[in-house]
Structure 1
Amino acid sequence: MAIGLMIAPAYAQDKDKEKQNEDQVIIVTGFQASLENAVAEKKNNDQIVESVSAEDIGKLPDASIGESIARLPGLTSQRTSGRANIIAIRGLGPDFSQTLLNGREQTSTGDARAVEFDQYPSEIVNQVVVYKSPNASLVGQGLVGTIDVRTIRPLEAGKQILAIGARGSYADLGKLNAGSKDFGYRVNATYVDQFADDTIGISLAAAYVDEPYQLQEFNAWGYAGAGTTASPNVIGGSKSFVTSTQLERFGINGTLQYQVTDNLMMTFDGFYSKFTDDQSKRGIELPLGFGAFGTGFNPATATVTNGFATAGTFTNVRGVIRNDIFERKADQYSFGYNAEYEGDDGWKAFLDIGYSKTDRNELSIESYAGTGFNGDDTSNGASATIGFTSNETGTVFSPSLNYSDPTRIFLTDPLGWGGGTVPQAGYYNNRIVEDELKQYRVGVEKELDGFLSAVKAGWSYTDRDKSLTPDEFLVRLAGTATQSVIPTSALLRPTNLSYLGLGPIVSYDARELIASGVLTLERNLSPDIPAKAYQIREDLMTIYVQADIEHEMTSAVLTGNFGVQAINTDQSSSGIVFASNVAQNVTLGDNYWDVLPSMNLSLRFDSDFVIRVAASRQIQRPRLDDLRAAVSYGIDTNAANNPTGANGPFINGGGGNPFLRPYRANAIDVNFEKYFGNSGIISAQFFYKDIKSYIDRARLIFDYTGYPTPTGQTPTSNIGLLETNFNTGGGSLYGAELSMTLPFNNISSSLDGFGFTGGVGYTNTKVKDAGGNVDQIPGYSKWVANGTVYFEKWGFNSRVSGRYRSSFLGDFSGFGGNLARRTALGEFIVDAQIGYDFQDGSALQGLSLYVQGQNLTDERFASIDGDGNRLKALDYQIYGRRILAGFTYKF
């Protein structure tokens, strides 16, 4: 589709240029149109922004929202199952940014506030704007940025549109697990129309995805040893899986606009997404170098290099064959109503109401099998001798046992994890999460003549409730058996672990064994389970005042805004605390204000050179699950550790912190931007954040006032110690970004159709943890870079893209939803696309064909032990390449 771009000039020198070129209409298509929209958004906005727009209705430049956002200057992503669904801004992870849908805050399919972008189909998105600097009227802002996902406005589209599309995908790792797929598909349709003399507009967009993702993973428990020749570092254990994921998602978005009068516009939005992420995880868990469960290792027979055992042999190894399941289901609802009044006398006003809700179930099932119960060697010989070779990609094994023989592998508890004589053949963990958010906003604006071009004021109220209900069971064998033969009818094709040297393993579906009664569920009555439950309530009231500036100077125009937000936070958390192992319900919380001044100034020269300065006070609210009230504590009789200095017992415990307050920082940004009309830009951005309050986990002094008093000895006071997340001292965060979008016809007409867009960002931090040590912020990468070289002409389009991020401390979801933090190594991802758009006048006008290749270099994801030794690989994951081919057709 050809898109006619007539960017509305906002300032005096642009108006003069429009007069000179009023008969010229610039026609651009596809990817170039998307880039020009992004340049225009950046140029005309008084905040520091990046953006990406759909090339056509229902057609972002990439296969997913996450992929498109990750290519913007200063942004990158963290992959999940090979998908770019978690976004990092300026090298920092998702806990430091905020995501909006059409300007409204949203609930999330994750535990924290961060939106996982695969919850939104890319086909419903018209534009994504990333605000790197806030203003007073931007409600719901983050510390390093705010991402606003915007859908189609039908009256702005201005004409009838009917578009359909379909895409097939292929995962080149193949069908790794029995029952998995290597081919998938997605289909979408979009309808836009206007009625009643263009006073009523409607848009509907729907998309369905059914796609597989495959993963070969090496995972280590950790590394044992002292790092000497006599006692070398050696892999302590392995828990490696082949994972097959089937992602199904149905998303639908609708918008109704009604131009009631020339002065009044009403807009209704609705969005629904049904999301299922079904994973089969099959592998072997091996206790190795820690000496646990009777495993033997002789350093004298190992190959040792610089204190690290790169090869050797383990004896008496009792492996646990795992056939695990992880299934996440989420239903997300979002609705919005907006009424905008624009008077003829310069007065404007709006009313906006938003509602968002996510219902989520995360089911994890572990299932164990092995050669015998708890080290029983009496029948089949439970132990194996396993040779190993370790390097930077993990460890490869050579076992003496055949783990694919169903006559020697039984459902059992190979390592006695159940304790005593009762086997635990697995674990069943269902996490039920509900997240609901309501938002109400009103605002007024008066346009003025003079230095102040407008004055705005507004009020917002946000009511959010999030809860977790754990539902956990021990998986037992039926009857009193300590081991059970796997029914022949339940056996599946063995899973191949040859990439680890382990060969094929016995495979089955644990859900079927539970349904048939071979495995049974016994509710876990441990007090640890109800202690995981929480209900968080957060009410935010925001008041803001903002003044806009526009002032003509001799050779430039000064534009911008300044203002202030005042936010009142009323937060509370309900849950169970265990005081000396006695369960009691509590509700605790806090109430406080934040005052956030902000200023954005842009000096716009006639030469298309812009200098921007932004200064602001910024906050980012803590993770919602960190606000839980659940705490377990008791009396510590070691008086020497009493934090009050008194000679007596004190309270000591661990858990959540319902009194936690936000990250806070004072920030300044300076930008230098050179534009080439509306088609290109070269930009240098510099930023500094003086962090006044950081959040870190530590054992510090805590006031237990409001908590039940533990039984036993009487503490000297309510002041004790608690291991939890605290607001600690701050530090600094600073960096620079260089970016460029440049069609090469600005260099030479012979290069028409070629171009480049991309950038590189550097971020450094000196933030200190609770102990006063320099801390690595989770999700923080020192370097991020991305670039796309493209050609687009005569209907042909092609582009090659790469994105890089340096190492970072990543948050990964472990069993039970617990966070595990690991140092992830840097990665460089290469994608490419070729396509053809049939031109106007052809029989197939409106049809676009394309082929995409993702992760073409098969870049791994890897994480290592905290000491930085590359030989101590904790994760080494191979996602493989993905090939996608599809079409869009616009009637």
Structure 2
Amino acid sequence: MNSRNPIRARSLRAALLAGAGSTLLVAAVPAMAQDTPPEAAGEEDAIIVTGIRETIQNSINTKRAETAIVDALSSDDIGDIPAISVGQAIQTITGATTHREKGDASEIALRGLGPFLSNATFNGRDATNGSGDRSVNFNQFPSELVNNIKIYKTQQASLVEGGVAGTIEIGTLRPLDFGKRRLQGEIKAQYNPYGDRVVGTGGGVGWRGTLSYVDQFANDTIGISLGFQRNDTNNPEETYAASSTWTACRADITVTNNNCTELAREDYGSDIPYYLVPNSHIFRQISETDKRDAAFGAIQWRPSDRFNINLDVQYSDRTFVESRRDLTLSEARRSLTNVEYDENGVIRHLEGQSSLESNGSELSRSEEYLGGGLSVEWQPNDRLTLTVDGSYSRTIRKEIERNFRLRTDPMDVNGVRTVFNNMRIPYTYDLAPGSFVPTITIDPRFDLNNHDLFWDDARFRRDESKRRNEIIAGRFDAAYEMDGFFSRISAGARWSELTFRDYDLRNGDFNLNPAIAEDRRINNLCRTAFPQTDYLSAAKGNSIHSWATFDVDCLFDAYLGTVDPGLPDERRAAANRDVTERTLAAYVMAEYDADLGNMPVRGNFGVRVVKTDVTSNGLRSDLVLVPDPADPGRFTLEETGDFQAVRIKSSSTRILPSINAIFEVAPDTLVRLAGYRAMSRPNPSALGAGRTFTLGDGDEGGFTSIEEAIDNVRANGSPRLKPLMSWNADAAIEWYPNKDSLLSATVYYKQFNGGFQPVVYNEDFTINGETVNVPVTQTRNSPDKSRIYGLELTAATRFSFLPKPLDGLGAKVSYNYANSNFKNQDINLGDQYDPETDTVSPGLIAAAGLSGYSKHVLSAQAYYEIGPVSLQAIYNYRSKYYQDFVGGNSQLRYVGPSETVDFRASLDLMKGVSLRFEALNIFNEPKATYMPVYGSSRQYHYYGAKYFIGIRARI
């Protein structure tokens, strides 16, 4: 292991970079002051500004004009948002940062707060996704077909719902408002150097092509815009992972031929020593192909000056296929000796024994998004504007995974006894302080690459899950222009119905033990070479670089007689979710514009009322114990199929006042004040009424006792969860010395009324005909009070005072600091509320903060534009944060600090034709997660860098 502490080193590096950013903030002040003064701005009006400078200018103009505290990224032309994806673009906006999946930006956190605290809309309408939460999957939308992104940091009544952290608004252009004809095509080639190490995937090469067309007809009364994109890439990945279930094991009891002894809850807080251990360890290699087709379109009709009608549609269909090859230590709690651990229970060293498994799977995911709406705006007179909007959004995500397991045995596949007396292989585990990946060393007498040693207890599963999220909504708004103090009065109402339904069905657990001769034939027939070179070579100290792998299709066909056994006959299950959420909301808002002495003052105030009704349907079933044919001492729980329906309803009404005020203290300086109440709803998947019966011991072979089976009954949602509420206050000062420059500082405070806390309810289940009382853990709204306060800084300028050609340099730096005392408890090891005694039993481990909460977020951009050349470098840093699992009711998971550097360049070859280059994550930053306390390694992802080169032509 490398003795260098990467967590401490990254923190130091982040601090140095934050200091550098602060230095640039200070340096930007004289640069701004020496730039073109406001009174000379007329000379600049004749200059056509394009590229990155134009985007930053538009963002500054939007921020200055909005009544609420807003940050934006926008372009006057289609395809000019400077990013490879919408998520990558958003993370350049002040206070916004992303969670990375598959090496790209996905969900967005505002001001260091998690995505569930934000509200995301597409053209002003709520959008669905396939994850089961409320954030938009920004990977579904090509940045080339998006024109503006706004982030409302404060709320106003016309936003109707909004979010505690803010509202993200993604917009596409309206063709008549665009006002010109544009035909544009772009094609890019992608290269991922890491892909060269993966066999049979095209060497990390992919491509994306975009075509768009905008035009106006009939004397500019009808406009159309069309956009299409095909994305065909691959995203290989290598990971180390532990299971998602962790146990506190007693350190004062050593068990050599069984699982470690779990520390009982009644012993929490005692002096009994303990350490934290997962159920399994997995080394995984992933080869992948990824395809996405997207189409955006709009028709705008303006039959007269009084009517404006706009119809827009967005469609995206993404499919990726992963080939996974796993080496699994399936009994990470068994026969643990010589355990060394720190004061937090994090294991530093141990020796154990586990059966080893060569597992393989083929996983395909398809996600289809369809959204759009019709908006009709009518002005019956010069003062009154009436708007009606109807919208639809639907996402369907479907996953199919076929996987196999081949285990070790005292004999190899040829019937020859190995040097080990049983199926379990000795190993050692070492985790150096600050390391991402533990060093797991298998007994050297066992050859991981010998296919003969993996053959026993062949098991086959076919899992299919499907999530359907749909929103139908309608909205009516009326606005009346006035003279005097009140400049405008607006009111409106909104109705929406959200449905979320899913299933997760297994057809399998085909545990097959044919004669050794048949196993030998199949084993030889289905062997494959390890599909990658230098596996986990970037993870210092890793000692496992390859293992024996097998072909999934070959094994399924040989053992089952079919490559795909399909869905089971019974598609109902107790774990299925069926949630309907109906929302009725109304608002009234007054805008004002006046003078306070000689100082102009403008703003708005209003109130919104939001009523939410949730209906969650679930199923319950009797259970039976099914012995494992390979091990009579173990069994699994299965549903009998005799289901009873359960329906749980919940309702809430929230009143949300808001006020915004802008004081123009100088022609180039604004002071903003805002106060508002905000709400963030639980994720739809967290409102399920179902129950999940998980297998024990890392899902490798069932239970050894009825008590162990009972401990694995989990609620897959908490339908009675209410929105998280907060009172909020913001104050900002903004200086706009010229078109290219901005210096702003915002302080904010949020007080939460309530948090989230595990609660245990006793439920009766019938197992083998007998009624058993089972404690089922859910999540409730706690009465806790908590708060967040923070500081947000932004500086942007172009160094026009420098001599040519250096006057093309520009920079933007933004930093957000947040401090929170919000608490999220671990579902197993944290504080737990007992509704019968109205008491809280203390937990074993510390609570986490808000999901997605990072204390520090820093983004820095430097650009250089001169003539036909445009260059831009982007740095993003985010400190560690807690990330919950979608659906809730899970143990704590932390994501380590991340910092990425991206680079973009373009060269104008001729009028309308440009060569473009982009590089993402050029320093190969991995992603690391920890459970259930920070520092206890849970997962390590490595994706590598990505490079894009392409050409764009427009006429």
TM-score, with normalisation over the residues of structure 1?
Answer: 0.85
Return the letter of the residue paired with 1:731.
Answer: S
Query: Any stretches of 5+ residues in structure 1 without a counterpart?
Result: 1-15, 414-422, 634-651, 839-843
Tell me how far apart the structure 2 counterparts of residues 388 and 117 of structure 1 sit (CA, whole Å). Answer: 38
RMSD: 3.7
Bigger shift: residues 85-94 or 518-527: 518-527
Tell me how far apart the structure 1 counterparts of residues 511 and 847 of structure 2 sit (CA, whole Å). Answer: 49
Tell me how far apart the structure 2 counterparts of residues 29 and 126 of structure 1 sit (CA, whole Å). Answer: 14
Gap change, CA 1:23 and 1:767, over 3 Å in 2: closer
Q: What residue number does 2:930 align with?
A: 864
Q: 1:285–1:319: 8 Å Cα contact kept in structure 2?
A: yes
Within 5 A, what are the aligned runs for 1:444-455? 444-455=478-489
Query: Any stretches of 5+ residues in structure 2 without a counterpart?
Result: 1-36, 255-272, 624-638, 694-712, 826-830, 832-839, 841-845
Q: CA deviation digits over 1:71-102, x for unaligned, max 9?
A: 21111111111111111111111111111110
Q: What residue number does 1:216 align with?
A: 238
Q: What residue number does 2:97 align with?
A: 76
Q: 2:227–2:297: 8 Å Cα contact kept in structure 1?
A: yes
Query: Which among 369, 374, 378 is matched to residue 332 of structure 1?
Result: 369
Q: What residue number does 1:47 align with?
A: 68
Return the letter of the residue paired with 1:593.
Answer: T
Bigger shift: residues 19-28 or 684-693: 19-28
Q: What residue number does 1:743 align with?
A: 798
Q: What residue number does 2:745 align with?
A: 684
Gap change, CA 1:90 and 1:287, over 3 Å in 2: same
Query: Which among 914, 938, 942 is matched to residue 878 of structure 1?
Result: 942
Q: 1:66–1:117: 8 Å Cα contact kept in structure 2?
A: yes
Q: What residue number does 1:506 align with?
A: 548
Q: What residue number does 1:767 align with?
A: 822
Within 5 A, what are the aligned runs for 1:6-155? 21=42, 24-54=45-75, 56-155=77-176
1:190 aligns with 2:245: no
Within 5 A, what are the aligned runs for 1:442-481? 442-476=476-510, 480=514
1:605 Cα deviation from its structure 2 partner: 3.3
Tell me how far apart the structure 2 counterparts of residues 169 and 491 of structure 1 sit (CA, whole Å). Answer: 32
SS at match of 1:567: strand
Q: CA deviation digits over 1:414-471, x for unaligned, max 9?
A: xxxxxxxxx5x13322111111111111111110001100000111110111101222
Q: What residue number does 1:432 align with?
A: 466
1:171 Cα deviation from its structure 2 partner: 1.3
Query: Which among 849, 852, 857 is matched to residue 779 of structure 1?
Result: 852
TM-score, with normalisation over the residues of structure 2?
Answer: 0.79
SS at match of 2:237: strand
Query: Which among 239, 244, 265 is matched to residue 287 of structure 2?
Result: 244
Q: What residue number does 1:401 align with?
A: 446
Tell me how far apart the structure 1 counterparts of residues 717 and 87 of structure 2 sit (CA, whole Å). Answer: 31
Tell me how far apart the structure 2 counterparts of residues 208 and 379 of structure 1 sit (CA, whole Å). Answer: 53
Q: CA deviation digits over 1:318-344, x for unaligned, max 9?
A: 311121233211111112100112344
1:666 aligns with 2:727: yes
Tell me how far apart the structure 1 counterparts of residues 917 and 387 of structure 2 sit (CA, whole Å). Answer: 44
Return the letter of the residue paired with 1:571.
Answer: V
SS at match of 1:327: strand
Q: What residue number does 1:156 align with?
A: 177
Q: 1:597–1:616: 8 Å Cα contact kept in structure 2?
A: yes
SS at match of 1:745: coil
Bigger shift: residues 580-589 or 323-332: 580-589
Gap change, CA 1:721 and 1:668, over 3 Å in 2: farther
Gap change, CA 1:328 and 1:223, over 3 Å in 2: same
Tell me how far apart the structure 2 counterparts of residues 574 and 516 of structure 1 sit (CA, whole Å). Answer: 41
Gap change, CA 1:369 and 1:175, over 3 Å in 2: farther
1:789 aligns with 2:862: yes
Return the letter of the residue paired with 2:366.
Answer: K
1:406 Cα deviation from its structure 2 partner: 3.4
1:755 aligns with 2:797: no
Tell me how far apart the structure 2 counterparts of residues 540 and 615 of structure 1 sit (CA, whole Å). Answer: 24
Tell me how far apart the structure 2 counterparts of residues 818 and 247 of structure 1 sit (CA, whole Å). Answer: 31
1:247 Cα deviation from its structure 2 partner: 1.7
> With CA pairs under 8 Å and 6+ residues apart, which has the higher RCO, 1 or 2?
2
Q: What residue number does 1:495 align with?
A: 531
Within 5 A, what are the aligned runs for 1:467-866? 467-476=501-510, 480=514, 483=519, 485-486=521-522, 490-496=526-532, 497=535, 499=537, 500-511=542-553, 513-514=555-556, 518=560, 530-577=573-620, 583-630=643-690, 654=715, 656-699=717-760, 723-729=777-783, 730-745=785-800, 751-768=806-823, 771=831, 775-812=848-885, 821-838=892-909, 844-866=910-932
Bigger shift: residues 377-386 or 136-145: 377-386
More strand by share: 1
1:819 Cα deviation from its structure 2 partner: 5.9
Bigger shift: residues 620-629 or 248-257: 620-629
Q: CA deviation digits over 1:372-408, x for unaligned, max 9?
A: 3999996353554545654313233354333333344
Gap change, CA 1:557 and 1:229, over 3 Å in 2: farther
SS at match of 2:905: strand
SS at match of 2:58: helix
Return the letter of the residue paired with 2:140.
Answer: Q
Q: CA deviation digits over 1:187-227, x for unaligned, max 9?
A: 00110001111111100011111111122212234698778
Q: 2:904–2:917: 8 Å Cα contact kept in structure 1?
A: yes
Q: What residue number does 1:642 align with?
A: none
1:778 Cα deviation from its structure 2 partner: 1.5
Q: 2:756–2:823: 8 Å Cα contact kept in structure 1?
A: no
Q: What residue number does 1:349 align with?
A: 386
Tell me how far apart the structure 1 counterparts of residues 173 and 941 of structure 2 sit (CA, whole Å). Answer: 38
Tell me how far apart the structure 1 counterparts of residues 291 and 489 of structure 2 sit (CA, whole Å). Answer: 47
Gap change, CA 1:832 and 1:544, over 3 Å in 2: same
Q: What residue number does 1:11 align with?
A: none
Q: CA deviation digits over 1:654-698, x for unaligned, max 9?
A: 553322211111111111111123322111011111111333333
Q: What residue number does 1:888 align with?
A: 952
Tell me how far apart the structure 2 counterparts of residues 528 and 158 of structure 1 sit (CA, whole Å). Answer: 52
Gap change, CA 1:141 and 1:509, over 3 Å in 2: farther
Bigger shift: residues 770-779 or 90-99: 770-779
Gap change, CA 1:688 and 1:519, over 3 Å in 2: farther
Q: 2:715–2:889: 8 Å Cα contact kept in structure 1?
A: no
Q: 1:564–1:597: 8 Å Cα contact kept in structure 2?
A: yes
Q: CA deviation digits over 1:558-614, x for unaligned, max 9?
A: 111111111121210111135899741022212331111111111123431111111
SS at match of 1:504: coil
Gap change, CA 1:145 and 1:474, over 3 Å in 2: same
Q: 1:789–1:801: 8 Å Cα contact kept in structure 2?
A: yes
Q: 2:505–2:568: 8 Å Cα contact kept in structure 1?
A: no
Return the letter of the residue paired with 2:323.
Answer: S
Tell me how far apart the structure 1 counterparts of residues 45 and 536 of structure 2 sit (CA, whole Å). Answer: 64
Tell me how far apart the structure 1 counterparts of residues 100 and 107 of structure 2 sit (CA, whole Å). Answer: 7
Return the letter of the residue paired with 1:696.
Answer: Q
Q: 1:188–1:205: 8 Å Cα contact kept in structure 2?
A: yes
Return the letter of the residue paired with 1:598.
Answer: S
Q: 1:579–1:632: 8 Å Cα contact kept in structure 2?
A: no
Q: 1:849–1:887: 8 Å Cα contact kept in structure 2?
A: yes
Bigger shift: residues 22-31 or 461-470: 22-31
Q: 1:123–1:206: 8 Å Cα contact kept in structure 2?
A: no
Tell me how far apart the structure 1 counterparts of residues 938 and 44 of structure 2 sit (CA, whole Å). Answer: 63
Tell me how far apart the structure 2 counterparts of residues 338 and 866 of structure 1 sit (CA, whole Å). Answer: 48
Identity %: 25
Within 5 A, what are the aligned runs for 1:305-384? 317-372=354-409, 379=416, 381=418, 382-384=423-425
Q: 1:472–1:529: 8 Å Cα contact kept in structure 2?
A: no
